[in-house]
Amino acid sequence: MVKQEDFDVEQFMDKYETNIVNNMGETCCDSLSVNQLLELISKEKPEVDISLKRKQICDLILDTKATYGHIRGSPDLKSAIAAIYNEDLKTEGISNDNIVVTNGAIGANFLTLYSLVDANDKVIVVSPTYQQLGSVSAVFSQSKVNVIPFELKYENEYLPDLVELKQLIETHFPKLVIINNPNNPTGVVWDNETMEKMVNLCKSKDVWLMCDEVYRPLYHSVKREDQPKSVVNYGYAKTISTGSTSKAFAFAGLRLGWVVTRDKALLDNLFSKRDYNTISVSMVDDSLATLVLQNHKVILKRNYDICLKNIEIVQKEIDHSNGLLSWIRPKSGTTCFIKINIPNLDTYKLCSELAEQHNTLVVPGEVFDNRAGFLRVGFGNSPESIVGGFYELKKWFIKNGYQK
């Protein structure tokens, strides 16, 4: 087995995340407590008896015997996950049997790659993206050279060049193509038409298509008719979606994720591998995640508002940067990839100094497949951290002679 490389993004975040004042590293929508969720529910659905709900939750946590619970995830949880996938229009339904419950999307991605990628398999992975997708593929395929990047370019607004992808597939004969829609770090979303073409290309080449959909359906700036469906809803069985409660639904602390696929043989394989690394997820997480997902529309409404408000703050900062900063304004998710228009700038050093001397966390482009010159900014958190963070960034530019 090849040595697992360090997870640069997570390590950079871990080093500085605790106690930072201006946290623009965070990629979750401002995380909620269960009580905050209950308040949101009571505003939207006054008919729900919130004190009774609170009592039921307390009883469940305090009185239920802590067994392994439903080994494959509770039926209620799986129905709540399936319902989200079944909101996509004109698709054959996803059932509970299509869902594998995992520890977060990180567990879902790992389990999928553990189940699907064998020695010497080639894997095409979109770039930039969450490092796990390429690094874990390299481990199971037993060589880094088996992982072929499919580059998204700033100049193309991070949209996929499908002619190039076709050539990559015809050159490398991969088993699997991995994409991430909406994308971390760029916040780009590939719309319905693009996704249809992407799926049809993989179908025509009989290649698996996995889509990390952990930021789905946080389509805060996309018209309803352009919003992409989940990858599993375009009529091709060899597609896999991974997701979780962490990002769009603001409950990362539950560590609750899932894999969804329509392929029966893959489902059997996922469950067989899962026996070795999960058994079951926590009973408490399972039941709280059920409550979260059954009320996901209330949460999404709140999170759309947060993202739309905060994105305007970032837009203003970019407009007032005298050309030092530019971006492809994201239409979804909670992250954007800001370009710094200073040639050969060491953005890793910039971000380290921002964290160590300016109490500000942003993630350098260097940890996303070496994209120096870019900063990943999370805008799903408090407006104060964005205003404060850009103020400190300005101070850094002035201190280093880039701005007066």
Q: How far is the CB of 51 from ligand PLP (least distance, A)?
A: 31
Instruction: Collapse the DSSP code of 74 into the 3-class scheme (helix H, G, I; strand E, B; otherwise coil) and give the result.
Output: coil
Q: What SS3 class is residue 367?
A: helix
Give the nearest distance from C-beta 161 to ligand PLP in angstroms: 21
Tokens of 162: 């499908």
Question: Least distance (Å) from ligand PLP to the CB of residue 110?
Answer: 9
Select 180 or 310, whichever has its Cβ closest to ligand PLP: 180
Cβ atoms of residues 257 and 266 within 8 Å: no
How big is the site for ligand PLP, counted in residues (CB under 6 A)?
14
Site for ligand PLP in 91-150 (CB under 6 A): 104-106, 109, 130
Which distant-in-sequence residues (6+ apart) come within 8 Å of 43 by Cβ? none
Nearer to ligand PLP, 218 or 314 (CB): 218
Q: Which residues 59-88 are close enough to bind ligand PLP by CB under 6 A?
A: none
Residue whose C-beta lies closest to ligand PLP: 104
Of these, 246, 278, 295, 334, which contacts ligand PLP (CB under 6 A)? 246
For ligand PLP, the binding residue among 214, 232, 292, 367 (CB under 6 A) is 214
Q: What is the residue-wise DSSP string for 29-56?
A: SS---HHHHHHHHHHH-TTS-HHHHHHH
Q: Using the rule CB under 6 A, which residue among 12, 20, 22, 27 binds ligand PLP?
A: 27
Name the nearest CA neighbour of 372 among 397, 389, 393, 348: 348
| Distance between CA atoms of residues 236 and 256, nearest Å | 26
Q: How far is the CB of 127 from ligand PLP (least distance, A)?
A: 13
Q: Whole-angstrom Cα distance, residue 397 to residue 158?
A: 27
Q: H-type helices in 221-346, by residue range?
A: 264-277, 283-294, 296-319
Q: What are 258's strand-pairing partners?
A: 101, 243
From the CB of 9, what's the least distance to ligand PLP, in Å? 8
Binding status of residue 241 toward ligand PLP by CB under 6 A: no
The single residue among 239, 244, 321, 385 that binds ligand PLP, judged by CB under 6 A, is 244
User: What does the binding site for ligand PLP look like in residue numbers (CB under 6 A)?
Assistant: 27, 104-106, 109, 130, 180, 184, 212, 214, 244, 246, 252, 257
